[in-house]
Amino acid sequence: MSISVTIGDQEYFPDIEKVRYEGPGSDNPLAFKYYDENRVVGGKKMKDLFRFSVAYWHTICGAGVDQFGSETHQYQWLRNPDPMQRARDKLDAAFEFTSKLGMAYYCFHDRDLAPEGEDIKDSEKNLRKMTQLALNKQNESGVRLLWGTANLFSHPRYMNGAATNPDIHVVAHAAAQVKAALETTVELGGENYVFWGGREGYSTLLNTEMKKEIDHLAMFLAKARDHGRKAGFKGTFLIEPKPMEPAKHQYDYDVNAVIAFLKSYGLEDDFKINIENNHATLAGHTFAHEIQTAADAGLLGSLDVNQGDPHCGWDTDEFLYNLYDAVEIMIVLLRNGGLGAGGMNFDAKVRRSSTDLEDIFIAHILSIDTLARGLLIATDILEKSDYLDLVKRRYGSFDTTAGRAFEAGKLKLEQLAEIAECSGEPLRTSGKQELFESIINRFL
């Protein structure tokens, strides 16, 4: 079978052909069972609805390191001792992988694409070189950039934060890095630009001026926005909330915290939110809750798709396989008009002990199929059951004269009290939770 992808000198996945749709009956782990990219669901092709993206840092750069042990994945593209050659090898592997999987997008941190140099200039030089090569790869393959970002958390200089660091020199260093990462994103036609503030938080209030730090964060983001717009960036800036890890109290705790932050600093016209499932879990929410919250505020940007482990309080970044969650997410997305210029980025890593080369393919196919199946089920629930009617009926009392008047702000508290007196003790109307749950399970 011939594959229409151009690859570098070296083929890293010679035994793997372009992944195809084989349908639900297939038992081929390297084929899609539900994701049929051109199948139209609810008026949109699956590929345009999902806009799937590979996360460079996990899939290409992740070598199985954890807090207690070193690399377990012996990927060939991570072996060259020369950091720039290694960066070129990673790029070849990334585009071969993404093309064979048939995904439209990728996402990266500046340091995933190019190694840090000896100083700011040197790092920027590396990044610019790699940007040119990435641009060629994009043009050859048709794969596009969903978002770029700067890694402002790995280097020791950021141990006390980047934009919220108590030292202006570190803040300036972070600015230099964001400037280059933003320009790179523009050059590569990136549709979004992400800020994840892993170290924008604090460990103890004893040494922290919280207001000052949050003011600094807002100032930093405003200046980044101004520079991005000047450099021609037309896309959306995204903030990715997470409550903790590595910071103890991360300022972008959850979607609601980010909404409040964006609105109080007047940033809501340029910034939206990139929501990650495992981060939602850490904040005590569901993914669906966070997506709905952002959508209600008109600030739903993009999704980092993964899942956590219920028995482990970390950001384990597993590939999403929970079909029930996928259905819930898809119901919320379908009811709220989808992701627009955002996409679904697999911010997920194969387990440390998943050491076969094919495992990164199988993992992506697993999540892609889970979401595609979730989409089909959610569509059926919305179209073929009385689910939507039941929700509507639950709020039916607000379609009465009194309900409408209340929503329009035309009822004072005294008037509401009068209504209460006239109507007497309200009915105990059932919330029908189990009925809703049984509808979902009927379609699973």
Distance CA 50, CA 60 (A): 21
Assess contact for 312 and 342: CB atoms under 8 A.
no
200 in contact with Ni ion (CB under 5 A): no
Nearest distance, CB of residue 278 and ligand XLS, angstroms: 7
Distance CA 285, CA 276 (A): 11
Assess contact for 101 and 108: CB atoms under 8 A.
no
319 in contact with ligand XLS (CB under 6 A): no
Query: Which residues, numbered 342-371, are part of the site for Ni ion (CB under 5 A)?
Result: 347
The piece of 141-149, 208-216, 304-312, 324-332 that touches Ni ion (CB under 5 A) is: 304-312
CA triplet 431, 432, 434: central angle to 5 degrees?
A: 135
Find which of ligand XLS, Ni ion, none residue 225 binds, CB within 5 to 8 Å per kind. Answer: none
253 in contact with ligand XLS (CB under 6 A): no
**Annotation marks residue 109 as catalytic:** yes
| Secondary structure (DSSP) of 36-100 | -TT-EETTEEHHHHH-EEEEIIIIIT----BTTB------GGG--SSHHHHHHHHHHHHHHHHHH
Which CB atom, from 30 or from 103, has the smaller least distance to Ni ion? Answer: 103
252 in contact with Ni ion (CB under 5 A): no
Structure-block tokens of residue 206: 């004893």
Distance CA 144, CA 65 (A): 28
Count of CB atoms situated within 10 Å of the CB of 137: 22
Please identify which residue in 89, 96, 112, 240 interacts with ligand XLS, judged by CB under 6 A: 240
Task: Provide CB contacts within 8 A for 234, sequence distance 6+.
Answer: none
Query: Which residues, numbered 103-132, are part of the site for ligand XLS (CB under 6 A)?
Result: 109
For 60, list phi and psi in degrees, rounded to 5. Answer: -95, -40
Size of interface with ligand XLS, in residues (CB under 6 A): 10
315 in contact with ligand XLS (CB under 6 A): yes
Count of CB atoms situated within 10 Å of the CB of 25: 6
124 in contact with Ni ion (CB under 5 A): no
Nearest distance, CB of residue 423 and Ni ion, angstroms: 49
276 in contact with Ni ion (CB under 5 A): yes
* Helices and strands in the chain: count of H runs, count of E runs: 15, 12
Nearest distance, CB of residue 240 and ligand XLS, angstroms: 5
Q: What is the DSSP letter of 157?
A: G
Nearest distance, CB of residue 196 and Ni ion, angstroms: 6
Please identify which residue in 33, 73, 90, 242 interacts with ligand XLS, judged by CB under 6 A: 242
Instruction: Please report, to the nearest 10 degrees, the dihedral formed by the alpha carbons of residues 219, 221, 227, 231 taken in order.
Output: -170
Which CB atom, from 19 or from 239, has the smaller least distance to ligand XLS? Answer: 239
192 in contact with ligand XLS (CB under 6 A): no
347 in contact with ligand XLS (CB under 6 A): yes
196 in contact with ligand XLS (CB under 6 A): yes
Which long-range contacts (C-beta less than 8 Å, at least 24 apart) are formed by 121-128?
A: 123/177, 123/180, 124/176, 124/180, 126/84, 126/87, 127/180, 127/181, 127/184, 128/180, 128/184
**Annotation marks residue 215 as catalytic:** no
Please identify which residue in 200, 315, 328, 369 interacts with Ni ion, judged by CB under 5 A: 315
Q: Of the residues 109, 173, 285, 289, which is catalytic?
A: 109
96 in contact with ligand XLS (CB under 6 A): no
Distance CA 148, CA 394 (A): 43
Q: Compute CA 232 distance to the chain's CA centroid, rounded to the nearest angstrom.
A: 23
304 in contact with Ni ion (CB under 5 A): yes
Nearest distance, CB of residue 237 and ligand XLS, angstroms: 13
Which CB atom, from 196 or from 287, has the smaller least distance to ligand XLS? Answer: 196
Find which of Ni ion, ligand XLS, none residue 149 binds, CB within 5 to 8 Å per kind. Answer: ligand XLS
Token look-up 């919220």 returns 164
Which CB atom, from 96 or from 197, has the smaller least distance to Ni ion? Answer: 197
In the bound state, the residue with its beta carbon closest to ligand XLS is 196
Assess contact for 151 and 112: CB atoms under 8 A.
yes
Q: Of the residues 112, 254, 304, 369, which is catalytic?
A: 112
37 in contact with ligand XLS (CB under 6 A): no
Positions annotated as catalytic residues are 109, 112
Contact positions vs Ni ion (CB under 5 A)? 276, 304, 315, 347
Contact positions vs ligand XLS (CB under 6 A)? 109, 149, 194, 196, 240, 242, 276, 304, 315, 347
